Structure 1
């Protein structure tokens, strides 16, 4: 029996948690589904990653209204992927913020990514008819931007390429808490279809250098305490290395994509097969690592058609 494409067969609702990771700092998590961060300042609220649809975003808003009635002023999007950005309209924010690189990726491949992810994650796109269109930022920046929610400072920073070329983090200095988007995952597979494997470990080292007290990762549980933070950084780094090295050996030795897939599975299955969305991510991760090992620096654009062709080729 053929495997369901990506997460097309996963229609089970996930248990939502809403965890305080620092004073007035919250992580909305759902058993490996995309997380959303909430930063509450003196006068307003900042959202970090918006969910895939306004319907899902309303679940975040419901949790927010259980702890504050302050208005949402900013929606910060750590990168361009559809499951992170297409719910942004629900928050009614004054400003929507991305890195300039992330915005350029919306221009280049935003619609293709939406079409692709819609087929991969049908459960996350329930209520998709309420999406008004591609999410465009009203503010962009290069390497850093500082915003204030009253007296509370939030630093938005590009620390290096990783999950995509345009990932940013949100650091709240008064609590030493960081919202990392998909640069850090916890007991969830890293999606690497748009990744830069060679750069990502250095970006993780930059995150580690903050000596953080807590992280709200892109997927998986909120990480409170130095031990949890370092464990998540170690596990994310190990996932990337364990994925890339066997694939690179095959690719650079003239082997096929299917041979790279087999080599990757031999290393990664024993360690990571229990992780959320592991089987979903694996074909995309193998394809991107294979390309990067052969010197293709810019990830090729994923389309719904390319997804299916690659999936059938590797699942055979």
Structure 2
């Protein structure tokens, strides 16, 4: 989410779709802000769409593309997390697709969706236009930890990762093709997006995020479709994890020295921009520092609790 109003149209362009594996198509975001990478995954009987684009206008284009691609096959929809450019077009699919998400994401849509809708409407006229007439609908199917979706000759795995970029993050794995859709757990060519907005939303956890990336890397995907940016090889999981580890370690080292958060953020912005001068989204660095400062406090509290428990024993 940007901090300056957008002046461009956050438009999905299905005409740019590319097949990255057999019957696995990506509508790329082309570096356009507030446009996600969107997936269309086919089996012999059904087709799964991954993410909708920002609002009904974009979702209508995605649905039209999916219907044409499906050629009579049944449609499913899932969303990697509840943020507006990923999920706020689901209403368009209501009569034509079965909508599946994990329970934590379903709760995010109910409890945080309206607030994010208002926040995003303040990000400029192009965004507000695309969010006109948004209705936040309930999913048709809600699962807990994982869901194997049989598309016919191909089983796609939906997996709740637990709290990381959001409370309800979900990855989509196409095992026979070696393709992993990560949503905003991974971005290519930009700093990790930390939706750290206290007191309104503090569910992002950098420490948990690192562990999620470690697990995803261990699964050994061949291709990674990030939330935003170019489709990449498995290495991108390591790149993002190493950035988060650097941000965590350097934040915690300075926090232990009792530096104020503003000073830590300024020092780390200079450090990580020097490491990754080509990456975009520099505003998210300070948000990441704020998140890791909170993680540090929780880490210290947990450590103190363990020490007290050991002493009492």
The TM-score with structure 2 as length reference comes to 0.81
- Are 1:258 and 2:272 matched, yes or no? no
**1:35-73 deviation digits (Å, cap 9, x = unpaired):** 111112212221111112111223334544564434562
Structure 2 residue aligned with 1:220: 229
- Are 1:203 and 2:207 matched, yes or no? no
User: Unpaired runs of 5+ in structure 1?
Assistant: 298-316
Q: CA, structure 1 residues 280+8, in 2 after alignment: closer, same or farther (shift >3 Å)?
A: farther
Structure 2 residue aligned with 1:184: 186
Q: Which residue among 106, 110, 119 is the counterpart of 1:107?
A: 110
- Give me the whole-angstrom Cα distance separating, in 2, the residues matched to 1:211 and 1:249: 32
Structure 2 residue aligned with 1:242: 246
Q: Which residue among 229, 233, 238 is the counterpart of 2:234?
A: 229
**What secondary structure does 2:122 align onto?**
helix
Q: Which residue among 144, 156, 159 is the counterpart of 1:157?
A: 159
- Are 1:129 and 2:122 matched, yes or no? no
Deviation, structure 1 residue 242: 2.9
User: CA-atom RMSD, angstroms?
Assistant: 2.6
Trace 1:288-307 onto structure 2 (pairs within 5 A).
288-295=291-298
- Give me the whole-angstrom Cα distance separating, in 2, the residues matched to 1:296 and 1:136: 35
Deviation, structure 1 residue 100: 0.8
Structure 2 residue aligned with 1:11: 8
Contact 1:82 1:114 (8 Å CA) reproduced? yes
- Give me the whole-angstrom Cα distance separating, in 2, the residues matched to 1:262 and 1:114: 30
Structure 2 residue aligned with 1:28: 27
Contact 1:246 1:263 (8 Å CA) reproduced? no
The TM-score with structure 1 as length reference comes to 0.80
Which one has more relative contact order, counting CA pairs under 8 Å at least 6 apart? 1
Deviation, structure 1 residue 126: 3.2
